Structure 1
Amino acid sequence: MEKGSRDESLQMERNIDFLLDIPVSVTVELGRTKLLLKDLIKLGEGAILELDKLEGEPVDILVNNKLIAKGEVVIINERFGVKIIDIISTQERVKQLK
């Protein structure tokens, strides 16, 4: 391997290592709904909002507000978790970054 190629390869590795340490926000979305403002104002403690997803339907997993996977809600030591059941391809994830 030539010195120039080796230097470029090392630089690329450093760049990738730098990117891998960037924190991202992960959100699990159970569902959505729309309300009229007058109905939103009437909401109080104990009110129930009906969401657009059915029981047992996969939830959306978003990273920085971009859909990257689907999952199912699980309970782990009395805490909610999400088991990934479908993930979009790396190509699609990269395309969403543009």
Structure 2
Amino acid sequence: MSEEIENQEADAGDDWAAAMAEQADSEAVAKEDAEVPAAEFDSLEDTSGGPAGEEANLDVILDIPVTISMEIGRTKLSIRNLLQLNQGSVVELDRLAGEPMDVLVNGTLVAHGEVVVVNEKFGIRLTDVISPAERVKKLK
């Protein structure tokens, strides 16, 4: 009986050794497959011939569309109060009457202005344009 157990253990040990060898072989193949050649990149140096500080040609971006919006004010409401709004409701904003509106381009403040009516359509007259330096300061 003990001889049978020893034979079974020997067979189990052989099976175990075979499984371990098979796993080692598959890991070696996976390692070889996983090796990726080094990436090669083109040079990022300025090859245009002009000085590096020269102003970029803006013609390439002049036709890109942007969204301009005018904001007369903001407020915060709870969802309960929002759901209670109906026709004729008044929502108080954080601005005073007559205060200039914000002019936003793609969500970034670029100017302040006042509402005007031109040919029965609303427009805005810019009263103060934010300088690029001031816009950069606000990003920080």
Fold shared, TM-score > 0.5 on shorter chain: yes
Which of 92, 103, 110 pairs up with 1:61?
Answer: 103
CA distance in 2, matches of 1:4, 1:32: 50
Structure of higher RCO (CA pairs closer than 8 Å, 6+ residues apart): 1
- Whichever residue aligns with residue 42 of structure 1, its letter is Q
Aligned CA-pair RMSD: 2.2
| TM-score calculated relative to the size of structure 1 | 0.79
Q: 2:91 aligns to what?
A: 49
Sequence identity (%):
50
Q: 1:20 aligns to what?
A: 62
CA distance in 1, matches of 2:139, 2:77: 31
Can you give the 5+ residue segments of structure 2 that lack an aligned partner in the other structure?
1-47
1:44-66 per-position Cα deviation (integer Å, ceiling 9, x unaligned): 11111111111110000000100
Can you give the 5+ residue segments of structure 1 that lack an aligned partner in the other structure?
none
CA distance in 2, matches of 1:4, 1:35: 57
- What is the DSSP-based 3-state SS (H/G/I as helix, E as strand, rest coil) of the residue aligned with 1:20? coil
1:4-45 per-position Cα deviation (integer Å, ceiling 9, x unaligned): 33xxx7xx43xx101111111101001011111111001111
- What is the DSSP-based 3-state SS (H/G/I as helix, E as strand, rest coil) of the residue aligned with 1:38? helix
- Whichever residue aligns with residue 55 of structure 1, its letter is A
| TM-score calculated relative to the size of structure 2 | 0.57
Q: Which runs of 4+ in 1 moved over 3 A?
A: none
Q: 2:131 aligns to what?
A: 89
State whether structure 2 residue 77 is matched by structure 1 residue 35. yes
Report the number of matched residues.
Answer: 89
